[in-house]
Structure 1
Amino acid sequence: MDARGTAGLLFLREEEIRLAMELLFYGYRDFTAGPDAILEELGMGRAHHRVLYFVGRHPGITVSELLAILAITKQSLGRVLKPLVDGGYVTQTQGRSDRRQRLLALTAKGEALERRLFERQRETLARAFREAGGPAVEGFRKVMLGIMGPEARARIGSRMAGTAPRPAGKVA
């Protein structure tokens, strides 16, 4: 096998690792550019986007669970959550069994914004997945799982079943 084939991947050179780091940087920069522009119009940033995304994915998520996912301090979350609540994007309710818990959910306004942000990124991923094809999408997932720590892998792993890539041209 050639140096770039499967056997060569076992002994990645520094330059290949640096290239991978650049690909991650530029990919993330361009992946977030569309949502960043929308958020900037609203006086928000990526931290707001992350909260909207995870609250939207997990309606009724507790503040503690969100803190664990985002790996930020309660104070940092408070700075991001307050404008989302005050702006009518997120609601907070008390937990049923533990009244100290705060359960978070998106309002209709929050759902609309999260959907708008998602659509911008969905277009980017769908195009990239179509162009790369199923085996590359599966490889991408494996690499991303390999980069994540065990806690993130555990959170994502349960949702990975049944997400085999579709043939090229079938990504929605």
Structure 2
Amino acid sequence: MNEKQKTTRATKVKKQKLALREQIWGKVDESRLWDRTKNDGYTTLPRTFPLLAQIMDDLADKGKPVFQTYLTLWCRVFDESFIEIKNPTQLASESGFASQRAITTWNGRMAKLAELGFIGVEAGPLGNYQYVLIYNPYLLIKEFNEKGKVQKGKYLALFARAQEVGAKDLE
């Protein structure tokens, strides 16, 4: 499919969605909706993120989920897949850790994400996780699946959803 065909298809789908939305909710005050083309402060997420989250947490230690920490990192990254962390306390808080052990817990989750290979880390003058590289989670989950470490049903759900949204990373 060339770019013109993609644009035509996207426009058609958008019109269909808007017609259905209007049928259900009537005229909607557009100023009350989030529009990524008009609002700042957004990031791009794979449409499969909920499935990626489940698999990542399954790969982590029992009772020590990593996805919320990963999501916090993802929400700070731009297209170069690199983050410089200047305030680990803030990231620990955004990851949901608020007790006196917040930094310790966050450090543990960061270590696990690095051990699993979802991120690359380098220490700097501000801490062990000052520099972070985000790797493609699809590729890592595909590798874990090939080693038999991902539940078959979850991997199939991820694969099917990736196909549905046009993601080719798992092929």
Report the TM-score, using the length of structure 1 for normalisation. Answer: 0.36
Q: TM-score, normalised by structure 2?
A: 0.36
User: Which protein is richer in helix relative to its size?
Assistant: 1
